[in-house]
Amino acid sequence: AQSVTQLDSHVSVSEGTPVLLRCNYSSSYSPSLFWYVQHPNKGLQLLLKYTSAATLVKGINGFEAEFKKSETSFHLTKPSAHMSDAAEYFCVVSDQKGFQKLVFGTGTRLLVSP
Amino acid sequence: NAGVTQTPKFQVLKTGQSMTLQCAQDMNHNSMYWYRQDPGMGLRLIYYSASEGTTDKGEVPNGYNVSRLNKREFSLRLESAAPSQTSVYFCASTLRGDQPQHFGDGTRLSIL
């Protein structure tokens, strides 16, 4: 069975400082991993995805994530936070072997202060 | 450029009432999904349809039914609403299993 643990429910940063959102996963097979972002009263938007092609994945809006199999981690980073990055972020795992049923983490709310 | 469209956006029901949430996608996607989102719990899969003509239960199917009306439309029905079904409901679709899912903006449902 697959599972995802987002290690922080809330992360607060100042504008212009780095962002780190942490995610650990568990999967029986080679996983697909995703980060989605949700702005208030909106649906989820894909930030980036890992599907075994490259361990460092670049996404939209300057975000990137690194797949580390030895640590079963897929942390999301951004060098410099912007006020518009304030949102909820979800780490998601999918089993590549089967039909794509996603398992979501509980989310990390990113707060960005001026 | 609509993507995934959900109707209604908001709804308030009384316990025991029934209602159908509608979802339509215009991306010619094969697979469609219904999720519910509750505070602190992420999204949980209610039902999914891998392709037109098929539907299967997800993690939390009790109290819900679905219909894959055609390739574009996938509806979610609450036959007898309960307060525990107060949630935000999201519909999603994808072309195939290795592609990301595209989400609608959600239906906010309150049951009194």
Examine the pLDDT at A29 and tell me if it is beyond 80.
Answer: no
**Cβ separation B90–A101 shorter than 8 A:** no
Question: Between A21 and B101, whose confidence is greater?
Answer: A21
Q: A70: left (phi > 0), else alpha (psi -120 to 50), else beta? A: alpha
Q: Which residues of B touch A98 (CB under 8 A)?
A: 97
pLDDT at position A2 is: 82
Chain B: closest CA distance from residue A49 (Å): 8
Q: What is the mean pLDDT of residues B59-69?
A: 95
Q: pLDDT tens digit string along B2-45?
A: 799 999 999 999 999 999 999 999 999 999 999 999 988 889 99
Is A30 in CB contact (< 8 Å) with chain B?
no
Task: Please give the angle made by the CA atoms of B30, B36 and B39, to the nearest 5 degrees.
Answer: 145
**Cβ separation B100–A90 shorter than 8 A:** no
Other Cβ atoms closer than 10 A to B42: 20
Considering only alpha carbons, which residue of chain A is nearest residue B58? A101
Q: pLDDT tens digit string along A39-78?
A: 988 889 999 998 877 889 999 999 999 999 899 999 999 9
What CA–CA distance (Å, rounded) separates B24 from B27?
A: 9
What CA–CA distance (Å, rounded) separates A40 from A55?
A: 30
